Amino acid sequence: MDKFYRTLHPRPVVLIGSGNVKAGEINFMACSWITPIAEDVPSVGFACDKEHYTRELIHKYRQFSVNITEDIELIWKVGTVSGRELNKVEAYDIKIEVGKALDVPLIPQALANLECKVIEEVEVGEVIFYIGEVKHWRAQDFDDYGYKEFWRVPLHKGGKAFVFPAKKLYFPAKPK
Question: Is 172 part of any domain?
Answer: no
Residue 168 covered by a domain? no
Average pLDDT of the residues of the chain: 95
In this structure, is residue 1 part of a structural domain?
Answer: no
Q: Is the dihedral of CA 53, 81, 50, 42 positive or negative?
A: positive
Instruction: Kindly report the CATH number assigned to the domain that includes residue 127.
Output: 2.30.110.10
CA–CA dist 58, 75 (Å, integer): 19
The reported pLDDT for the residue numbered 127 is 98
**Whole-number Cα distances in Å, 172 to 23, 158, 169:** 50, 29, 10
Any domain includes 59: yes
What domain range includes position 107? Answer: 10-163
H helix runs in the chain, sequence order = 53-61, 72-78, 88-91
Domain membership flag for residue 115:
yes
* 3 within a domain of the structure (yes/no): no
Number of domains within the chain: 1
What is the per-residue pLDDT across 40-96, written as a single tens digit (0 to 9) for each? 999 999 999 999 999 999 999 999 999 999 999 999 999 999 999 999 999 999 999
In a domain, 75, yes or no: yes
Whether residue 151 has pLDDT greater than 90: no
- Measured distance CA(33)–CA(129) in Å, rounded: 9
* 17 falls within a domain: yes
pTM of this prediction exceeds 0.85 = yes
Q: Each residue of 75-89: pLDDT tens digit?
A: 999 999 999 999 999
